[in-house]
Amino acid sequence: MRAATLARFALPFLLLLLVAACASYQSRERAIQFEETLRTYRKAIRWSEFDAAYATVQTREDDLELGEPDFEFLDAIRVTSYEITSQRISPDETEIKVSAEIDFYHENSPTVRHLTDQQLWWYEPEEKRWFLSTGLPDFKRAMR
């Protein structure tokens, strides 16, 4: 009788622990994957490899469509500094807002310019991947 009572209470508790452990593992895996994606993106922007950075851009169904970047213009952009200043994770851990400070110049201009890039990253569970919904940094606007 005591063993049956103990089993009746222990089994749900153990199942709850198992579910919590799985959720924690998935959350940790998503976080690691985001850090890898962000590091790759940051490196691509820092070295002015905008076509590689653009591979992470994808809007969600309810987002406004982004136009194609002007890669001819971007070919003349040289990034001198890229620093992430903040990251805010949504409660459900499927969106992350990133703020980055970027210093850059255009090959035809000796002036180093600065922009703050506000990024919104989102997790696609079917592809198990992070995407940037806000597009590449707006260097043209920063040059005005």
pLDDT in tens, 63-94: 777 889 999 999 999 999 999 999 999 999 99
Cα radius of gyration rounded to whole Å, the chain: 21
DSSP classification of residue 8 = H
Q: For the whole prediction, is pTM greater than 0.85? A: no
* Domain 2-143, CATH number (from 3.10.450.50, 3.20.20.70, 3.30.70.120, 3.40.50.920): 3.10.450.50
Per the CB < 8 A criterion, the answer to whether 76 and 51 are in contact is no
H-run or E-run covering 34: helix 2-46
Of the candidates 51, 49, 117, the residue with the CA atom closest to the CA atom of residue 79: 49
